[in-house]
Amino acid sequence: MIPIRILSDNDVKNILDIKNTVKCVEKAYALKANNQVRLFPMVSEVIFEGRAEMDIKSGMLKEEDVFGLKLVSWFSDNKNQGLPAITGLTMLFDLKNGFPKAMINASYLTGMRTGAAGSIGVKHLSKQDSKTLMIVGTGVQAIFQIAATLSQVQTINKVYIYDPVKYENASKFEYSIKAELDKIINDINDTNNKSWKQRIESVQFVAVENPVKALEETDAVITITPSQKPLIFKEWTKPGIHFSCVGADMTGKQEIDEKIFEVASVYVDDITQASTVGETQSAIRASILGKNNLTEIGQFILGNAKGRTSDEEITIFDSTGIALQDLAVSKYIVSKAEEMNVGTIVYI
């Protein structure tokens, strides 16, 4: 009989902090750039046209001695019954013998690893003294983007909240944001989130109806929407701004004006995914740039590629989401769960 550790979403919330999530995702990017990992072909299927989809992303992390998969499903009708539309889980297997190791609810995990990705773009590519962040989109993923960025970029003291659909969403989001941020553990060693509470209090959160004026003083933008058309236009952007584009992960999705790519240095998590299903796809289609103009962020993390070179440069990080982020974070969660004796062991 093989022991498998089962971790619920609550288990994950209790042991996963922002700092370690970011470390894991940076490591996954670096290992990818170093060819220490493999991404297996993605299975992406429509179950019921327009109503239900599922995908299976899998791969292996040699250094971490694991391979595994994440299955995510989207069933839009769930909302009518008060159930979450998106559910997901990761399965981790031992690279020494192929045995299953763990099954983890991937809801919170996905929010955290996606937030980490957006923040890594801001941390490494925005101007050194960036003070103002704008978040575009106020869905369930937005809070993780803000949390990770505030955790990683200490200079930021103002966050503009812009909802492209409805101002009220931004305004509601602003109202509850401090309490929501405090639910996330920033550093597992910071008892009761003490320093984190102070950090949250040091920031001003402002819902904006029109992004144009706010963009004048914005240093970094994170877009996290399901949009299929540009929400931020080139005319609105000033020199030196950084974009972490996190929403686009399917053909047809787009969040920022493709013309911004004409004047930007572009970093991506995975060149193939970014150019086909990421934010970059529209610029590639418009022949604004080619694949050879893209730098994988792992190359920058490894020191093999340069980052921002001046305060006037515009930078873009296109994060499409790769299985390796999930695997690296899952592996960390399992190690932490073993250490803290969290979860349920079943034998199969």
Q: Which residues bind its own copies (CB under 8 A)?
A: 1-2, 4, 6-10, 38, 40-41, 43, 45, 47, 52, 54, 56, 58, 60, 67, 69, 71, 73-75, 77-78, 81, 83, 87, 89, 91, 93, 95-100, 103-105, 344, 346-348
Beta-ladder partners of 346: 4
The residue (of 86 and 271) whose beta carbon lies closer to its own copies is 86
CB of 274 to its own copies, least distance (A): 21
Check: CB of residue 187 under 8 Å from CB of residue 18: yes
Burial 311-326 (b: 16+ CB within 10 A, else e): eebbbbbbbbbbbbbb
CB of 43 to its own copies, least distance (A): 5
The residue (of 80 and 191) whose beta carbon lies closer to its own copies is 80
CB of 5 to its own copies, least distance (A): 10
For residue 70, indicate whether it is catalytic.
yes
Beta-ladder partners of 68: 59, 92
The residue (of 100 and 139) whose beta carbon lies closer to its own copies is 100
Catalytic-role residue among 70, 101, 123, 331: 70
CB of 48 to its own copies, least distance (A): 9
Nearest to 55 by CA among 39, 78, 69, 71: 71
CB of 156 to its own copies, least distance (A): 34
Residue 39, H or E segment? strand 37-39
The residue (of 87 and 171) whose beta carbon lies closer to its own copies is 87
Strand, coil or helix: 263: helix
The residue (of 7 and 256) whose beta carbon lies closer to its own copies is 7
| d(C-alpha 141, C-alpha 108), whole Å | 10
CB of 62 to its own copies, least distance (A): 10
Pairing status of strand 344-347 against strand 314-318 = unpaired
CA 315 vs CA 62, 75, 240, 260, 281: distances in Å: 31, 35, 8, 9, 16
Nearest to 237 by CA among 321, 117, 136, 346: 136
The residue (of 93 and 160) whose beta carbon lies closer to its own copies is 93
| d(C-alpha 91, C-alpha 5), whole Å | 10
Question: Where in the sequence numbering do the catalytic residues fall?
Answer: 70
